Chains A and B, each alone.
Chain A
Amino acid sequence: MSLASALSTGDLDRLPSRRDEDWRWTDLRGLIRVAPPPSPAVAAVAANPALAALRETVIVYANGRVIEGDGIVASEGMLLRRFVSATEGTCHALEAPVEVAPGGRLLLIDSFEGQAGGYVADARFPVVVAEGGRLERVVLLDDAADAVSVGLTEVELLPGASFHQTVIASGAKRQRFETRVRHHGGGASVRLDGAYVLAGQRHSDQTSLVDHLERDGVTSQLTKGVVQDQARGVFQGRIVVAEGADGADARMGHHALILSDRAEVDAKPELEIWADDVACAHGNTVGALDEDALFYARSRGIPEAEARALLVGAFLGEAADRIEHIQARELAREWIAALLRGAA
């Protein structure tokens, strides 16, 4: 059951539906009644002004095909990958692997850009981070409002390695970004963060599964979301600590603000622990903006709209603040600020 297999075979019965527990808040089968035609090859795509400041190696995918760069990811330095959906009402799928060599250190910025509407896109990211390797990844999901966009990242994390990721989403008609990590411990560390800013009728789903397979793994997760209008945010986080994977330290937090009566947030945080000696915690809150804090700010002279923006920005900022790389952190902050300006 996956979007990719449904697209490649044309068999829409293969689409995940609300009957699949893991997809119950992100139904695709009820949504996609007719398979759209395959996306054509395109030679060039528009530049993205938001990324203009980055002077990194670039790989550009257009409609699922590499049109710039060779698609091969080095284990060192910084890399910007753009995944552009360029043709209205068509569908495509891609696979873009990443391997970080032992001791390698890579910053990866993955930008999803909907330059047309109504597309259906599927992306797979097999990732291996070898022993002692470090991968920090910032994912910007800027899909079209009427698009369907699904991404799945599967990470093999070897002992002593780290995989730190921040996903910032503005939603789509249906948008899902899923990350699965096989965590081999040995001091390896996972940071899986997210932020979503959803307006209109947009939907965004951030789902994750971290399997602690061996001893002494660390996982830290913080997702923050803001929804308004009739938007819908979905967070599903699952951390499993296998038998024998003692010494695991796993923390998960998801916190969302609902700014309108018709917006919705669905959250399912889960910890499944089969080992004895572990430190695990999770927290989940969904609520309105703190009216007391709002009045406090207004009583000091800050107009209501500005006070709201200040408080909401600070709320989301906590997720972006955890990005280690300074330039990537600034990029994430600016992107969040732009989303908030657009949503206001």
Chain B
Amino acid sequence: MLSIRDLHAAIDGKEILKGLDLEVPAGEVHAIMGPNGAGKSTLSYVLTGREGYDVTQGSATLDGEDLLSLEPNARAARGLFLSFQYPLEIPGVPALTFIRTALNAQRKARGEGEISAPAFLKLARESAARLKMDFEMLRRPLNVGFSGGEKKRMEILQMAMLSPRFLILDETDSGLDIDALRIVSDGVNALRSPARGMLVITHYQRLLDYVKPDRVHVLAGGRIVDSGGPELAHELERAGYDKYAREAA
């Protein structure tokens, strides 16, 4: 599914990713853990095509199709979704309008017709109910005045409604209390399927108690320096990232 080979990327000429290799097969959830500044968010932005992140070497493909040459919106239309660490506020655009615009743009790019208004509203109501969100929140400008937890929930709602093939969760647990964490995790787990892959980027092991990964990778110094099963996350929680510091330097 997602295949990253020898990926090098730089911001303002400073190399952040230094030869990253990663394979996430369909149906699996992989976690990326690592110390601050290891390049975790850079990886998510490079994959989704943010400006200012220059890929200098290597490749990233989704089901064999090159991602790096595509516009961000084209990547989304092919099924890539990033749940932002800090979701943006969009004044003046109701959440429902934003999501419908995104959904229809993706459908158009895939050669599908627009979703009907009743079908869209039904989807929105069901998705909101599953995430225990007040539907009225969806009529308000997207994320404006929302708490950190509400914004994260809105990210998962968008993810559920856009139904991507590959999900990247960037520090989705930050800013969540334990109840919100459970609701958000349930929302993410509901999207697990044999056809979907997920990359869960997190600094702490906490989220992984709820969204159980098949594989855990340690990102340090711009490369994957260790990989293992779910037990690796617990080991990191206990021992910290010190042992990787040398490799990162």
Residue of A nearest to B109 (CB): A301
What are the residues of chain B within 8 A of A70 when measuring CB–CB? none
Judge whether A293 and B90 touch: CB under 8 Å: yes
Contact A298 B72 (CB under 8 A): yes
Residues of A within 8 Å of B93, CB to CB, are 310-311, 314
Complex Cα–Cα for A318 and B71 (A):
30
| Chain B contact residues, CB within 8 Å of chain A | 48-51, 71-73, 75-77, 81-82, 84, 87-93, 98-99, 101-103, 105-106, 109, 141, 158, 162
User: In the complex, how many angstroms separate the beta carbon of B6 from the nearest chain A beta carbon?
Assistant: 24
Known: A293-B90, A295-B72, A298-B76. 12 other contacts (CB 8 A): A292-B88, A295-B51, A298-B71, A299-B73, A300-B73, A300-B162, A301-B109, A301-B162, A304-B73, A306-B105, A311-B93, A313-B92
Given the interface pairs A303-B105, A304-B71, the reply to whether A314 lies near B91 with Cβ below 8 Å is yes
Binary interface profile of A, 273-313, with partner B (CB < 8 Å = 1, else 0)? 00000000000000000111101111111111011001101
CB distance from A301 to the nearest CB of B (A): 4
Q: Which residues of A lie under 8 Å from residue B51 when comparing CB positions?
A: 291, 295
A23 at the interface (CB under 8 A from B): no
Q: Is the interface of A mostly helix, strand, loop or mixed?
A: helix
Complex Cα distance, B90 from A302, in Å, reads: 14
Contact, CB under 8 Å: A296 / B84:
yes
Complex CA–CA separation, A303 to B70 (angstroms): 12
Of chain A, the residue at the smallest CB distance from B159 is A300
The CA of A303 and the CA of B105, in the complex, are separated in Å by 7
A-side residues, CB < 8 A to B, are 290-293, 295-304, 306-307, 310-311, 313-315, 317-318, 321
- Pick from B82, B84, B91, B103: contact of A315, CB under 8 Å: B91
Complex Cα gap A299–B45 (Å): 10
- The answer, among A300, A307, A318, A321, for a CB contact under 8 Å with B158, is A300
A301 x B76 contact (CB < 8 A) = yes
Contacts of A303 in B (CB 8 A): 71, 73, 105
CA distance A292 to B90 in the complex (A): 10
B158 → chain A closest CB, angstroms: 7
State the CA gap A318–B144 with chains docked (Å): 14
CA distance A293 to B143 in the complex (A): 12
A315: B residues at CB distance < 8 A: 91-92
Q: What are the residues of chain B within 8 A of A306 when measuring CB–CB?
A: 101, 105
- Asked if B101 and A299 make an inter-chain contact with CB atoms under 8 angstroms apart, the answer reads no
Query: Which residue from B49, B71, B88 sits with its C-beta under 8 Å from A296?
Result: B88
Q: Do residues A302 and B92 form an inter-chain contact, with CB atoms below 8 A?
A: no
Please give the distance in Å from A299's CB to the nearest CB on chain B. 5
* CB proximity of B103 to chain A, nearest CB, Å: 8
Do the beta carbons of A317 and B76 come within 8 Å of each other? no
Q: By the criterion CB–CB under 8 Å, are B73 and A298 in contact?
A: yes
**With a CB–CB cut-off of 8 A, which chain A residues contact B87?**
296
Q: Which residues of B contact A293 (CB under 8 A)?
A: 88-90
A318 contacts B91, CB within 8 Å?
yes
A301 & B106 in contact (Cβ 8 Å cutoff): yes
Contact of A301 among B73, B84, B141 (CB under 8 A): B73
